[in-house]
């Protein structure tokens, strides 16, 4: 199927949009006229007032389906999905992680990505154009120690993007990942100073990633300029990733 060019008014669903990274990601496409709608279990803050949002648990298929139906009823289309909702999970050796902690991390980070992608991709396929972006992590490529549940969930996002990219390759819908190193906002607040120092040491630029740097990469991947790349992982790593 040839890629169909949508109208100038695009509609994006951004999961986890009420966090610091989510707000940065949302602001970038809004400047070019895209309507960004947030799915998030967290309560909206004053900074989120201009953005329509739904209290959606991304791993709850019924809740996501209801949210998608509401967006389609209001907007008539969904062009972009950014799977950004996530939790840090336990910082501990894999053998010390409880099954409850493991399941919670996988449920939000990976199952949530699967559920949202599963329900929204058919809408894009029907339209003949779409962009799905999973906000993964460099830890999903490295298998970073003391981050077992998180790293596995993020590796799963990368694998899911590759699978769906192949399955949707002829539909006009692309599926890609972005793998940042540690971002200087949000989940970093749950990491102690010793762990932060260790993670910073691994980054050749010797600074953490800024939210706007991830947002800029997202803006490119969801644009018309990124039309022939699917199933890829775009690193935002300050030199930490070299393959």
Which of the residues are catalytic? 150
First to last CA, the chain: 32
SS3 state at 147: strand
Please tell me what DSSP assigns to residue 76: S
Q: Which residues are registered as beta bridge partners of 36?
A: 12
Least Cα distance to 221 among 124, 114, 133 occurs for 133
Cα torsion angle, 147, 60, 113, 87, sign: negative
Q: Which residue bears the tokens 């200087």?
A: 184
Least Cα distance to 214 among 194, 240, 237 occurs for 237
């Amino acid at each position: 199927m040839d890629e169909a060019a949508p109208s100038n008014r695009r509609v994006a669903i951004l999961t986890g949009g009420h966090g610091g990274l989510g707000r940065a990601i949302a602001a970038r496409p809004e400047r070019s006229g895209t309507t960004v709608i947030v799915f998030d279990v967290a309560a909206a803050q004053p900074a989120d007032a201009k953005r329509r949002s739904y209290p959606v648990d991304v791993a709850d298929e019924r809740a996501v389906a209801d949210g998608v139906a509401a967006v389609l009823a209001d907007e008539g289309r969904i062009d972009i999905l950014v799977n950004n909702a996530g939790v840090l999970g336990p910082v501990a050796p894999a053998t010390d992680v409880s099954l409850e902690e493991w399941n919670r991390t996988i449920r939000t980070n990976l199952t949530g990505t699967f559920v949202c992608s599963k329900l929204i991709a058919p809408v894009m396929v029907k339209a003949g154009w779409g962009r799905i972006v999973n906000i993964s992590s460099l830890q999903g490529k490295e298998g970073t120690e003391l981050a077992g549940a998180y790293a596995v969930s993020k590796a799963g996002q990368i694998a899911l993007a590759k699978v769906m990219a192949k399955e949707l390759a002829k539909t006009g819908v692309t599926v890609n990942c972005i793998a940042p190193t540690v971002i200087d906002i949000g989940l970093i607040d749950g990491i102690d100073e010793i762990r932060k120092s260790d993670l910073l040491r691994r980054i050749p630029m010797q600074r953490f990633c800024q939210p706007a740097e991830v947002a800029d990469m997202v803006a490119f991947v969801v644009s018309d300029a990124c039309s022939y790349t699917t199933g890829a992982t775009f690193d935002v790593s300050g030199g930490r990733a070299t393959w």
